Structure 1
Amino acid sequence: MSQDRTATIKRTTGETQIELTLNLDGTGQANIDTGVGFFNHMLELFTKHGQFDLTVKTVGDTDVDDHHTVEDTGICLGQALREAVGDKCGIVRYGSMTLPMDETLVTSALDLSGRFWFIDAYEIPTEKIGTFDSQLVEVFWQAVAANALMNLHLVLHHGKNSHHIAEGFFKATARALRAAITIDPRQQGVPSSKGVL
C-alpha cells in the first residue's frame, strides 16, 4: 500500500474533548477510552471486524448523559474515515454485510459516494442496554455517515435482544466498510462514471 490511509482528528467543544486516530490498513488494534463502557466495547468490535487500527480518547460531559460523547466521537470517526480514504482512487466503493448475531439478523449497506444519506430501518426493543441509551446507536451512526459523506443503510431483519442488535450493526458496518475501502487492482481511478466522488 503506497498511500498512507491514516487520519488523526482532534475536536474540542464545551461538551467534549476528543483525539481519534484511524488507520484503514491496520490489523484490528484498538485503544479505546470514551468513558462509556458499552460504547468502548462496540468500538473495539468495530475495529476488530474492520481490521482497522483505532485509537480514541474522549472526555465528555457524561455527568449530563452519554449523548455528546457518543455523537461527537461519531463526528470524529466520520471525519477520519473521509480523510483517510483520500481521493478514493482504486477503492471498491460499495460494501454490505448481512450478519447473524444469535437470534438477530442485520444488514449494513454503504456507499462511499461523497453524499450523505442515512436510513435506520430498525427499532431496538429496550430503552437501555445496561446503562447505555439505545437511541444513541442511531445518533452515532448518523454522525459517522454525515461526516464521512457516505450512504449508510442499517436494516434489522429480525431480533429480540437489544445488545445483539446494537452489536450486529457495529460488526456488520465494520465488515461493509472493510469491503468498500479495499483496493481493487482492476479499478482504474475513481469508481464512478462521473470521474469524481
Structure 2
Amino acid sequence: MWDILNILGTMAFAISGALVAIEENYDIFGIFVLSFITAFGGGAIRNLLIGLPLQLLWSQSALFKTALLTTLVILLLPTIWLKRWPLILIFFDAVGLGAYAIEGALYAVSAHHGLATVIVAATLTGIGGGMLRDVLAGRKPFVLQHDEYYAIWTILGGMAIGLKWVQSPVQLYILLGSIVSLRMISVIFHWRVPHHLFTQWSRQKSQSPTP
C-alpha cells in the first residue's frame, strides 16, 4: 500500500508540475526541475516535520525514475491531447494531494505520533509539493486562496487515519478516492469557503476612525 501511494503521488505531482511548467513556458530543464520539486517537495517537508532523515529522499531511486519517465511522457504527448490543461492539472493535483496526504498520515502513525501530528503530517505532505510548485511558477498557491477547499481534504484524511477510522488497504483506497472526488467536485461546482464574516469585519475595521 505504501509503495502504491508513493508511486501514485509521485506520478500525479510530477505530471502537475510538468503541466504548470509548460503553461508558464519553461524550457526543458525548467520542466524537469518543477516536476521533481512538485513530486518530492511534500516528502521532504514531511521528513523534516516528523524527524525522519532528509537523506532518505535520495534512497528512492525507483521513484526518481518514475518521475523522470512520467515527465518524459508529458513532453512527448501531442499538444492537442493536453488542450484541457486546467482540468487535467487539477485532477492530477488532486490525486497527488490525496495520495501524499494518506502517506504522510501513515508515516506519522508508524512513528507513534499523536493525532495532531498525524493531521499536520498529512496536510504538509499533501500540500507541500503543490505549494513549492506554485511559488516557483509565480502563482498564488491553492492552499493560500481564501475561497479554496484544498487543505481541508488533507486535514479530514489525516483525522480519519489518526482516529483509526480508516486502517485496511481497501479503506485507504476508498479514502483516496473520496479525497480526489471531493476535490474535483469542489472545483467543478465552485464550492467556496464562507468568508463573508471576515470580509465584513475587515471592512468595519478599515472604516473605523484611527485613534
Q: TM-score, normalised by structure 1?
A: 0.31
Identify the structure with the greater strand proportion. Answer: 1
Determine which structure has more spread, i.e. the larger CA radius of gyration.
2
Q: TM-score, normalised by structure 2?
A: 0.29
